[in-house]
């Protein structure tokens, strides 16, 4: 992965914050940052940007040490709405500039030319350092690459042992942007996959660690498991250090069971 503008890089494991809310959510975010998480992922539709902002602000870690990413929801993807809603997101997050802002889904108000022009303006106006897209198909990714003036920094998509698209991984590697894998534990379903259980036993680990390690070990791929409890957050962070061998990877990628959690 080459250096990007502003030298922003994404660590192998970040924190997905969907569902973190209220005072307990603030505490979870603060704990995660102080534990070592350096990538916080939120979205307008999660309705918790203020929670994430407070958690970061109340931590003892400098703002500039943490990548803060949010996503513009589908009904705000018109040119002016994208600009205005991102400004509102920054206010809720208590930051002057996001590190990464995504198009959340290419539906509803999404218009490739107008929407992506707005995202270029977000960079030019200093509201974000980088732009990304989320839940895009290969053809939509190619279109975005063609239309954006700013480099495409990341594509966030569902990716886990029960829903794996190697073409999306290859595309990210070919065009040198991050693939940010969400729901890496398949909403807990990874604990009921025999192939993962076999690999976990082999490495004296659990199925969650195997899933995170498999993703984190791929070039240009990072992952953002959601967790609220300290033990799970610590385990997810440590899982990046688990080294799987080629046999393990082949076994994971040959799993025939397929379950997509968030179809369009």
Is residue 5 pLDDT above 60, yes or no?
no
- pLDDT value of position 87: 98
- pLDDT value of position 263: 84
Higher per-residue pLDDT: 8 or 258: 258
- pLDDT value of position 2: 36
Compute φ and ψ for 249, nearest 5 degrees.
Answer: -65, -45
Q: Which long-range contacts (CB under 8 A, 24 or more apart) does 253-257 make?
A: 253/164, 253/166, 254/195, 255/161, 255/162, 255/164, 255/193, 255/195, 255/196, 257/162, 257/193
Query: Does the annotation count 177 as an active-site position?
Result: no
Is residue 191 pLDDT above 70, yes or no?
yes
Is residue 37 pLDDT above 80, yes or no?
yes
- pLDDT value of position 264: 74
Measured torsion, CA atoms of residues 236, 239, 42, 20, in degrees rounded to the nearest 10: 0
**Residue 69 and residue 99: Cα distance in Å, rounded?**
6
Split at pLDDT 50, 70, 90, the class of 140 is very high
73: which 2 tokens? 């929801």
**Residue 211 and residue 94: Cα distance in Å, rounded?**
33
- pLDDT value of position 248: 98
Is residue 106 pLDDT above 80, yes or no?
yes
Split at pLDDT 50, 70, 90, the class of 92 is very high
Q: Find tokens 């025939």 and name the residue.
A: 256
- pLDDT value of position 257: 92
Split at pLDDT 50, 70, 90, the class of 249 is very high
**Residue 15 and residue 182: Cα distance in Å, rounded?**
10
Helical residues (DSSP H) of the chain, grouped into ranges: 22-35, 49-57, 79-93, 112-124, 138-147, 166-175, 194-202, 207-216, 230-239, 246-253
Q: Which of 46, 177, 178, 182 is catalytic?
A: 46
Compute φ and ψ for 125, nearest 5 degrees.
Answer: -90, 0
Contact 66, 38 (CB under 8 A): yes
72: which 2 tokens? 């513009």
Nearby residues of 203 by Cβ (< 8 Å), 6 or more positions away: 209, 210, 242, 244, 248
Split at pLDDT 50, 70, 90, the class of 1 is very low
94: which 2 tokens? 């208590």
- pLDDT value of position 6: 45
pLDDT tens digit string along 231-241?
999 999 999 99
- The CB density around residue 5, as the number of other CB atoms within 10 Å, is 11
- Single out the residue of 10, 23, 40 nearest to residue 227, CA to CA: 40
- pLDDT value of position 3: 32
**Residue 249 and residue 218: Cα distance in Å, rounded?**
10
Split at pLDDT 50, 70, 90, the class of 51 is very high
Split at pLDDT 50, 70, 90, the class of 182 is very high
Is residue 38 pLDDT above 90, yes or no?
yes
Angle between helices 194-202 and 246-253 (to 10 degrees): 170
């Amino acid at each position: 992965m080459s250096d990007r503008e502003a030298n922003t890089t994404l660590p192998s494991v970040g924190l997905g914050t969907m569902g973190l809310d209220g005072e307990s959510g603030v505490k979870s975010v603060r704990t995660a940052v102080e534990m070592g998480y350096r990538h916080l992922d939120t979205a307008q539709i999660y309705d918790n940007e203020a929670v994430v902002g407070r958690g970061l602000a109340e931590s003892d870690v400098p703002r500039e040490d943490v990548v803060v990413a949010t996503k513009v929801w589908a009904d705000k993807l018109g040119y002016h709405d994208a600009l205005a809603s991102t400004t509102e997101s920054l206010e809720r997050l208590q930051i002057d500039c996001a590190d990464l802002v995504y198009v959340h889904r290419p539906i509803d108000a999404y218009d490739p030319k107008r929407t992506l022009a707005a995202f270029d303006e977000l960079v030019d106006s200093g509201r974000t350092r980088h732009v990304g897209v989320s839940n895009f198909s290969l053809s939509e990714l190619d279109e975005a690459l063609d239309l954006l003036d700013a480099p495409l920094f990341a594509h966030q998509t569902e990716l886990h042992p029960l829903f794996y698209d190697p073409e999306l991984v290859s595309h990210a590697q070919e065009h040198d942007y991050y693939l940010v894998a969400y729901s890496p534990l398949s909403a807990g379903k990874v604990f009921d996959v025999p192939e993962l259980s076999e690999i976990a036993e082999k490495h004296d680990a659990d199925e969650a660690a195997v899933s995170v390690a498999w993703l984190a070990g791929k070039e240009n791929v990072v992952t953002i498991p959601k967790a609220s409890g300290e033990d799970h957050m610590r385990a997810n962070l440590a899982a990046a250090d688990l080294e799987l061998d080629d046999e393990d990877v082949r076994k994971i990628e040959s799993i025939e069971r397929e379950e997509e959690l968030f179809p369009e």
